[in-house]
């Protein structure tokens, strides 16, 4: 203990930022481990938050990880275990004895157990199921049946249920008795004899109320709840809209079957944002962190999109080849194709990104389609005119005068700039319409982000370009 | 009351989903308002969550909104007020009396007041400051000085502080006495006489402990905290990593100055994801929901990026014009320019999107640069070969045989496919490197998303294309 204190004092009390303080804690643990001072390490680990311990473990080689894991107390071991990646969980399960594994399973919250079971290979699942108590086994089986990303799949069964007729004193006695292994005690759920949800009462209300008050007199009957099949994204919306710490999950008969807590919802928010961002970038979302994803898996997540988009680009090729003669006469037109396509693509993705995010935040819905289109048209006119004016000046100054390209005439510049304005208009309309249509068709609007919009807008911009060129330049 | 009950019963108890139940509550309120049954509406409003009331109000015309707002009790009025948009807050401030405004300010949590002050026009701010109590005024002034997006700017001063030597019983007495106007009571903060943070204790620990136990014996001294200047994104990371409900904010002297609560952090997470997504789509992020943002403001958020990107596209123009002769000889080459550019852009944005998200989740950092590049190179080789093979078949089958374009020869197809593979390689490397460099330079990595990557990769792919074409086709 003395040497440990010394170590703590050697480090400055105040650090520059959150990251630095985290690094410092990691280093302390590494130092003790490398010096093989296992007793001191054990004491230090006990004081750490389970997240930091899990972080520390996950940077160790597997054998060493399993060894350090065994230094943890039974309770902390379960908490740390829940924070580990599925690979590491699997390794630990394979190295501990049945008794040790039983201990971990006892302490794990049900939602963490279910998360783990979904990732483990079949033979490991079998062993876990054999060791779990029959009660836990039945619950796991029930939970595994809920559809992925539903409220049922993220809920936990460890909540506090109270009865209407209890007094606040009795309620506190119950919390003290069963609270230790409940995921949250701050929101308690009042249920009838047939397990129907009748109301919620917070510990805050109970502390503020008289000890003799009846729960029925202080509970809130206007409960914000969700059902087992509700989408987890909608559930997380409830938390941020209503500032909740826990939401009850009911089945079709309005019976309370579980709760979702705010910490699970924060993970959902992170995961949903990652998914949206991945899909918008044309990548199939992956559950695993980038550094732990294999090259082959990354390839599998990316190649279908690239192939699909490459094949769709055939249309631009077809359009270009049908205007091959026009291009042969006016090679100057070719110079501006990339600029027109890029600007169109960028204008379109601006609109689509804004609309996709607004849809997922619930700011707009399909009913707003026409007001969104009307707004985008006005924005497009402003953007299109600005770009056309700037483009005209740039083309004549840079491409004609500075670069001395004689074939870039004023009519060519005019064709380019008119195309620019019209392309921006089409791009913005396509960019805002497609995500909303996708949403209406119950597809993920994020699919309609820049890669697809770009491909579509490319074709449109080329058609406009050659249409106008043919008319104005008489080719 | 009788008629209200009837109305509640007329609606089915169980609805299909969260959205439907929300709509139903909105409709109930609208019906009562349109029937001018103000007494029943007042009773109904009382039962609603403040978020639903705010939603309902924000869909009313301003005059009607202010009228319904006055039906609310003083406490609910403040809660609803905090949920309104700044335009609506401004309108209400301008219609209520000084006494009413004073009442609202008394009930508002300090962080909500500060949020409001940041958005209000100067003359309204003046009136609010005049009406606020001198104590609140001093706090507002202090809070407004914290940099935007810092922990200081989102913290609140309404927390429960306890002393080490208190017993659990005394602590509960204190919570009962002052808890009513504290944002959270579940995490209490133990401070020394000079306000230094000594530990935290949760209500859960206190409920589980003996009533006579001393706070010092149950408090946790290993506190996860942040400082006033920490970035709000890092603070929100603490919540999701450590599953917290509240985090203490300390100043440079380690004195407790405020707390950040989990509900504020969920807003931060949403806001940060929106910002990342906007920037990745080439749009300056806006605080206002899309439907309430003016056309001119949207234009202002989008046009700088479009102009910048259009001007950068000059390079592709320059490259194309320097190969004008080559293109005149082999017009067939033009057909594949869009496909090459798009595929390059898509490959690059896949890498950049993945890396940007991993950076913001803390999965990778600058030190991982070389392992990230190495991983992307291997992925690029896999993707590039797949695309080149698929492209070769497609070009010969579709473009040459099906479309009957004789100028698309096997050497041309070879040039296109070799370019494809090399472009994908460059695109992936550029796509993963630039966001990491931006992060290192303390720029937002999200800036280095598809629009910029596309522009850069366009130029690269053209250079590769013509380089290979010149060599292989001898033009």
pLDDT greater at residue A399 or residue A251:
A251
> Which residues of chain B are in CATH 1.10.357.20 domains?
313-473
Choose which CATH entry (3.30.465.10, 3.10.580.10, 3.60.20.30, 3.20.20.70) describes domain A161-280: 3.10.580.10
Query: What fold, for A2-148?
Result: MgtE N-terminal fold (1.25.60)
DSSP track, A238-259: HHHHHT-SEEEEE-TT-BEEEE
pLDDT tens profile A151-165: 888 888 888 999 999
- The reply to whether B269 touches chain A by the CB within 8 Å rule is yes
Which B positions 3-62 lie with beta carbon below 8 A of chain A? 13-14, 17-19, 47-49, 51
Length of chain A in terms of residues written: 475
Residues of chain A in contact with residue B390, where contact means CB-CB under 8 angstroms, are 307, 310
pLDDT at A332: 79
pLDDT at A215: 94
Inter-chain residue contact B277 with A353, CB threshold 8 Å: yes
pLDDT greater than 80 at residue A449: no
For residue B382, give both structure tokens.
Answer: 């896999």
pLDDT at B316: 83
Inter-chain residue contact B354 with A403, CB threshold 8 Å: no
Closest A-chain CA to B354: A278
Query: What fold, for B161-262?
Result: CBS-domain (3.10.580)
Is pTM, for the whole model, over 0.80? no
Residue A174: exposure state from Cβ atoms within 10 A (0-12, 13-18, ≥19): middle
pLDDT greater at residue A429 or residue A70:
A429
Distance separating alpha carbons of residues B86 and B91, to the nearest angstrom: 9
pLDDT at B16: 58
Distance separating alpha carbons of residues A438 and A49, to the nearest angstrom: 43
Distance separating alpha carbons of residues B2 and B210, to the nearest angstrom: 48
pLDDT at A6: 40
pLDDT at B87: 84
Work out the mean pLDDT of chain A and round it to a whole number: 85
Which of A266, A280, A310 lies at the smallest CB-CB distance from B339?
Answer: A310
Buried b vs exposed e over B287-301: b needs ≥16 C-beta within 10 Å? eeebeebebeebbeb
Candidates A250, A350, A390, A456: best to mutate against B (most CBs of B within 10 A) is: A350
> Which residues of chain A are in CATH 3.10.580.10 domains?
161-280
- The reply to whether A386 touches chain B by the CB within 8 Å rule is yes
Inter-chain residue contact A379 with B302, CB threshold 8 Å: yes
pLDDT tens profile B319-351: 888 887 777 777 778 888 888 988 998 899 889
Distance separating alpha carbons of residues A416 and A364, to the nearest angstrom: 35
pLDDT greater than 70 at residue A276: yes
- Does the domain at B313-473 match CATH 3.30.450.20? Answer given as no
Query: What fold, for B2-150?
Result: MgtE N-terminal fold (1.25.60)
pLDDT tens profile A296-355: 888 888 888 888 888 877 788 888 888 877 777 777 788 888 889 889 988 998 899 899
Give the closest residue to B458 by CA, choosing from B353, B330, B323, B313: B313
The fraction of chain B above a pLDDT of 70, given in percent, is: 96
Contact B344, B380 (CB under 8 A): no
pLDDT at B139: 80
Please count the other Cβ atoms lying within 10 Å of the Cβ belonging to residue B26.
Answer: 15
3-class DSSP state of B472:
helix
pLDDT greater than 50 at residue A106: yes
pLDDT tens profile A292-305: 888 888 888 888 88
Of the listed ranges A35-49, A382-396, B165-179, B443-457, the least confidently predicted one is B443-457
Contact B321, A399 (CB under 8 A): yes
The radius of gyration of chain A's CA atoms, rounded to the nearest angstrom, is 30
Distance separating alpha carbons of residues B352 and B373, to the nearest angstrom: 11
Q: Which residues of chain B have pLDDT under 50?
A: 1-15
pLDDT at B404: 76
> Which residues of chain A are in CATH 1.25.60.10 domains?
2-148
ipTM of the complex in this document? 0.75
> Which residues of chain B are in CATH 1.25.60.10 domains?
2-150
DSSP track, A271-310: HHHHHHHHHHTT----SS-GGGS-HHHHHHHHHHHHHHHH
pLDDT at A26: 87
3-state helix, strand, coil in chain B (%, to 5): 70, 5, 25
- In angstroms, the separation between the Cα of residue A126 and the nearest Cα of chain B is 30
H or E, element range at B189? strand B187-191
């Amino acid at each position: 203990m003395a040497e440990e204190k010394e170590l703590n004092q050697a480090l400055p009390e105040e650090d520059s930022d959150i990251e630095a303080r985290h690094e410092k804690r990691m280093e302390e643990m590494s130092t003790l481990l490398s010096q093989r001072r296992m007793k001191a390490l054990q004491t230090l680990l006990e004081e750490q938050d389970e997240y930091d311990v899990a972080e520390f473990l996950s940077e160790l080689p597997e054998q060493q990880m399993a060894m350090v894991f065994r230094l943890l107390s039974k309770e902390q071991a379960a908490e740390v275990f829940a924070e580990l990646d599925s690979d590491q969980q699997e390794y630990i399960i394979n190295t501990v004895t049945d008794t040790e594994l039983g201990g971990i399973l006892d302490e794990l919250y049900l939602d963490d157990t279910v998360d783990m079971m979904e990732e483990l290979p079949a033979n490991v699942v079998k062993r876990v199921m054999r060791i779990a108590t029959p009660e836990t086994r039945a619950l796991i089986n029930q939970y595994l049946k809920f559809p992925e990303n539903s409220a049922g799949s993220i809920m936990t069964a460890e909540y506090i249920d109270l009865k209407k007729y209890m007094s606040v004193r009795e309620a506190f006695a119950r919390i003290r008795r069963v609270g230790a292994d409940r995921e949250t005690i701050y929101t308690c759920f009042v249920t009838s004899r047939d397990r129907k949800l009748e109301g919620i009462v917070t510990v805050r209300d109970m502390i503020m109320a008289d000890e003799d008050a009846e729960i029925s007199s202080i509970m809130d009957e206007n409960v914000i709840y969700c059902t087992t099949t509700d989408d987890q994204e909608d559930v997380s919306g409830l938390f941020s809209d209503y500032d909740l710490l826990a939401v009850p999950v009911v089945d079709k008969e309005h019976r309370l079957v579980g709760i979702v807590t705010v910490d699970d919802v924060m993970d959902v928010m992170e995961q949903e944002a990652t998914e949206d961002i991945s899909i918008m970038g044309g990548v199939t979302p992956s559950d695993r962190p980038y550094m732990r994803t294999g090259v082959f898996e990354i390839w599998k997540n990316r190649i279908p999109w690239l192939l699909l988009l490459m094949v769709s680009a055939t249309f631009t090729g077809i359009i270009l080849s049908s205007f091959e003669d026009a291009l042969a006469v006016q090679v100057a037109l070719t110079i501006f194709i990339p600029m027109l396509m890029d600007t169109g693509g960028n204008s379109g993705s601006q609109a689509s990104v804004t609309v996709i995010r607004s849809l997922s935040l619930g700011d707009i819905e399909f009913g707003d389609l026409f007001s969104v289109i009307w707004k985008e048209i006005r924005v497009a006119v402003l953007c299109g005119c600005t770009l056309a004016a700037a483009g005209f000046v740039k083309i004549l100054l840079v491409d004609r005068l500075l670069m001395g390209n004689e074939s870039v005439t004023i009519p060519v510049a005019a064709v380019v700039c008119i195309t620019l304005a019209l392309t921006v208009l089409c791009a913005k309309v396509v960019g805002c319409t497609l995500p909303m249509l996708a949403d209406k068709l119950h597809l993920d609007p994020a699919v309609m982000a820049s890669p697809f919009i770009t491909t579509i807008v490319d074709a449109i911009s080329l058609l406009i370009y050659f249409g106008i060129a043919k008319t104005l330049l008489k080719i």
